[in-house]
Structure 1
Amino acid sequence: MLNDLSVFLLAAGMMQAALLSVFLLLPSNIIQVSNRLLVIVLLTLAAGFGELFLYGSGVSFLHPNYAYIGTLISLLQPPAIYLYTRSLMYRHFRIRPAHAVHLIPFATGLIVFFTLYVPLSDSAKITLLQQQDLPGMPVSLPLALAYHGVFLGWLGYSLRRLRSFNSDIQHLYSDIARQQMLWLRFLLSGYLGLWIVSIICCLFFYLFRLTDKTSWVLPVVSIAGFAFINTLLVCALRQPAAFMGLTQADEILLENIQPVKAPQLRGAEQVDKVAEFMHRNQPFLDSTLSLSQLAHQLKLSPHDLSAIINNGFQQNFFTFISEYRIEHAKKLLAMPEDKRTILDIMYSSGFNSKSVFNTAFKKQTGLTPSEYRR
């Protein structure tokens, strides 16, 4: 049964999800595709919390027909998280008919629910609930594994796309701290970890037929769920102001940014031209410099500039610009008469993020900025 802490956390989680969903449904907010998808994520989380609450409070045993509804609805959550991730990465992302493929787990769950569970008598349903290895999980091990597989599969694929995205933006931007969405990667990694632990527990309980799991499972799940939803709320509400996603022009450019082997003579001339421009004009001091902006200054196409950087300098755009910024910072740090703080020098060199600056500086020099200054 539920203890007071579990009751509070589950109730608070459901209330937070419901209230924020109402907020996101306001006309000024619902226009954003990412907000609509976030509403689905929140409501499915609330449904999962509700499933645990009904099970732990004993209501599911009094009304077994309502059991597993939260579990069923939660099958919409992994695809919603994946599409939400995509909507943050790409500014012009839209829901298309092809995305209906993500409804397959939910549709399959509906079929299983109405063909295997609903026809059972109330007493048979109660017996099934009592035999659960984990609250909200099907008694059948194959079904429980399939349920976990939906979450593990979609969350894993979301992380894979996010890692690919973080690699792609280094070809386009010199300031990647905000675009990387590390908060989302951290959050999804943690959530994926919870589901890995859950499937291990499910197998353990099934093999050893342990009883009285709710005495500790529900509090642990309640705490983990409460932490997840609050982290999601804080980060998701901050994210739109930080980065609105790649534009269609960025997407097209990324599709064409494969290294291109240009004629050696012309390639060498272009490399020298770019290097001379960088030393003379110092465009890297602009913290918001992008590949397209630098290409415009050089009177080159972004595709050609990317090919020059990839082939001639053997670097992506982010690393290329960072090296110039680090060299500039090294000169300032080596000047005894320059009394500015390291943070001021960081900004003067074109960096916007302290962590990115320190990482790039250490990688290039083997020293931290403070050690180099000494």
Structure 2
Amino acid sequence: MQGWVIVYAIAAAQAVLLALALWRRPANAAANRILSAWTALVGIDLAVRALHLAAPDDRWSLAYSVASLFPFLHASLFYLYVRALTTARGFAARDAVHLAGFAIALAIAAPELFAKGRWASPGIGYALFLYAYALAYVAAALVRIARFRRELRAHRADADRQSLRWLGAMALSQVAIWCIAVLQDLVRIPYVDYYLIYGAVALWVFVIGWFSLAQPPVPAQPYADAGAGQATHGATDAPSAPALDETVDDARMPEVEARLAHLMAGERLYREPALTIAQLARRSGYPEYLVSVVINRRLGGTFWDYINRLRIEAVREDLANPADARTILDIAYACGFTSKSTFNAAFKRQLGETPSDYRRRQADAARASAGSARTSQG
């Protein structure tokens, strides 16, 4: 146990430093404040556990018993963090409802806590309720992440750069931790105990914290939180009400389509890496909702799909040019792509082959054509 005392004590000190750094970080402030409070809570929990393991008597029993209820907060705080990161909506008084799981568990434990100064888990039923409660919040967070990505694709050409893939991976890793905890309660996995599982949870929170410190400002998507009835940063760019009914034809649709084609062919706006549909609408002179409907219905796919198709066509033309000595990635970045993986996937999806295969095939065709021309001249 002494080994875990040292691990928990060091982790508690790290939690304090990380919480302070997150609180002071200006980017994504609403989300980082929630994560800072959560990290501080984990630090308190770790410190209490370290003290209880170092002196396993009644001095720390009450604090240890209360801290044992903190797992009810982990998943709900993760959900609130995801919501804040994707909508810039901070913690409000009404969000206290998300702490209900902890409040209920505390109410159940309170009589025994006050009577004996300690509390023991009622058994497997309680544990399964905790796991179900936690997994429900993680699932809700995953839904929010997926919705955020859909909204990004509908409004931004650099959706891949802002997609928060690391956050989805962290959510799935939390699911894995909770599933291991369930199995441990049911079948007792060798070499896996409560201390190791809780250490993994603490490490998971810290990894989120370090990722969050490195996360550049996230473009808040008020569309993803429309049901909350709360305006968020960027709400002025929200499409107006007519966008809700895309089944109604607008007589201006052909004009909008022609205008978009002109802008893309003439000004090549798709080359702007961070182009948004709001910017495109302003350049076109038409309402954003109408531009969105035209792209979705007449051009097919989301705004992100539409821009990537144009970028791939531009890349294809450059790759087919034998006089263009630039590397494939240089061409892709010049055409507006910001991610190698996104470019490769989009190219393969649209043309059915990799960029290098396409360039090689075009070069072979050019050489064959040149050889045929020399033969015919001779």
TM-score, structure 2 as length reference: 0.83
By how many angstroms is 1:180 displaced? 0.9
Tell me the secondary structure at the aligned position of residue 159 of structure 2.
Answer: coil
Corresponding residue of 2:81? 84
By how many angstroms is 1:86 displaced? 1.1
Report whether the alignment pairs 1:102 with 2:112: no
Contact (CA 8 Å) 2:161, 2:338: kept in 1 or not? no
Contact (CA 8 Å) 1:60, 1:66: kept in 2 or not? no
Contact (CA 8 Å) 1:73, 1:106: kept in 2 or not? yes
Q: Counterparts of 1:224 and 1:255 in 2: how far apart (Å)?
A: 46
Q: Counterparts of 1:364 and 1:279 in 2: how far apart (Å)?
A: 19
Tell me the secondary structure at the aligned position of residue 300 of structure 2.
Answer: coil
Q: Counterparts of 1:218 and 1:298 in 2: how far apart (Å)?
A: 60
Q: Counterparts of 2:111 and 2:17 in 1: how far apart (Å)?
A: 34
Corresponding residue of 1:229? 205
1:125-140 residue pairs with structure 2 within 5 A? Answer: 128=120, 138-140=121-123
Q: Counterparts of 2:57 and 2:172 in 1: how far apart (Å)?
A: 31
Report whether the alignment pairs 1:113 with 2:129: no
By how many angstroms is 1:166 displaced? 0.7
Contact (CA 8 Å) 1:9, 1:222: kept in 2 or not? no
Q: Which among 270, 295, 299 is matched to residue 313 of structure 1?
A: 299
- Distance change in 2, residues 1:230/1:94 (3 Å): closer
- Distance change in 2, residues 1:10/1:371 (3 Å): farther
By how many angstroms is 1:223 displaced? 5.4
Report whether the alignment pairs 1:20 with 2:6: no
Deviating more after overlay: 315-324 vs 218-227: 218-227
Corresponding residue of 1:141? 124
- Distance change in 2, residues 1:97/1:218 (3 Å): closer
Q: Counterparts of 2:71 and 2:237 in 1: how far apart (Å)?
A: 32
Tell me the secondary structure at the aligned position of residue 245 of structure 1.
Answer: coil
Q: Counterparts of 2:30 and 2:8 in 1: how far apart (Å)?
A: 28
Corresponding residue of 2:274? 288
By how many angstroms is 1:12 displaced? 2.7
- Distance change in 2, residues 1:29/1:168 (3 Å): closer
Corresponding residue of 1:192? 175
Corresponding residue of 2:349? 363
Q: Counterparts of 2:239 and 2:249 in 1: how far apart (Å)?
A: 22
Segments ≥4 residues shifted beyond 6 Å: none
Contact (CA 8 Å) 1:105, 1:150: kept in 2 or not? yes
Contact (CA 8 Å) 2:30, 2:85: kept in 1 or not? no
Contact (CA 8 Å) 1:179, 1:245: kept in 2 or not? no
Contact (CA 8 Å) 1:37, 1:80: kept in 2 or not? yes
Q: Which among 176, 188, 198 is matched to residue 159 of structure 2?
A: 176
Unaligned runs of 5+ in 2: 222-232, 361-378
For 1:114-133, what per-residue CA distance to the aligned partner results, in whole angstroms no more than 9, with x for missing partners? 124432477xx6xx4xxxxx
Corresponding residue of 1:217? 193
Q: Counterparts of 2:21 and 2:250 in 1: how far apart (Å)?
A: 58
Provide the aligned C-alpha RMSD in A.
2.8
- Distance change in 2, residues 1:364/1:3 (3 Å): farther
Letter in 2 for 1:318: W
Letter in 2 for 1:106: F
- Distance change in 2, residues 1:244/1:308 (3 Å): closer
By how many angstroms is 1:273 displaced? 3.3
Q: Which among 11, 29, 35 is matched to residue 38 of structure 1?
A: 35
Q: Counterparts of 1:263 and 1:255 in 2: how far apart (Å)?
A: 15
By how many angstroms is 1:278 displaced? 1.9
Q: Counterparts of 1:363 and 1:260 in 2: how far apart (Å)?
A: 27
Corresponding residue of 1:345? 331
- Distance change in 2, residues 1:153/1:342 (3 Å): same
More relative contact order in 1 or in 2 (CA 8 Å, sep 6+)?
1
Corresponding residue of 1:135? none
Q: Counterparts of 1:291 and 1:30 in 2: how far apart (Å)?
A: 24
Letter in 2 for 1:11: A
For 1:277-309, what per-residue CA distance to the aligned partner results, in whole angstroms no more than 9, with x for missing partners? 322321101111110011111101111100111
- Distance change in 2, residues 1:176/1:255 (3 Å): farther
By how many angstroms is 1:259 displaced? 5.7
Q: Counterparts of 1:29 and 1:289 in 2: how far apart (Å)?
A: 24
- Distance change in 2, residues 1:226/1:110 (3 Å): closer
Q: Which among 212, 218, 234 is matched to residue 243 of structure 1?
A: 218
Q: Counterparts of 1:195 and 1:186 in 2: how far apart (Å)?
A: 14
Tell me the secondary structure at the aligned position of residue 163 of structure 2.
Answer: coil
For 1:260-280, what per-residue CA distance to the aligned partner results, in whole angstroms no more than 9, with x for missing partners? 134376434432332233223
Contact (CA 8 Å) 2:6, 2:50: kept in 1 or not? no
TM-score, structure 1 as length reference: 0.83
Aligned length: 349
- Distance change in 2, residues 1:119/1:307 (3 Å): same
Unaligned runs of 5+ in 1: 129-137
For 1:53-73, what per-residue CA distance to the aligned partner results, in whole angstroms no more than 9, with x for missing partners? 456556266643333221223
Letter in 2 for 1:278: M
Q: Counterparts of 1:236 and 1:270 in 2: how far apart (Å)?
A: 40
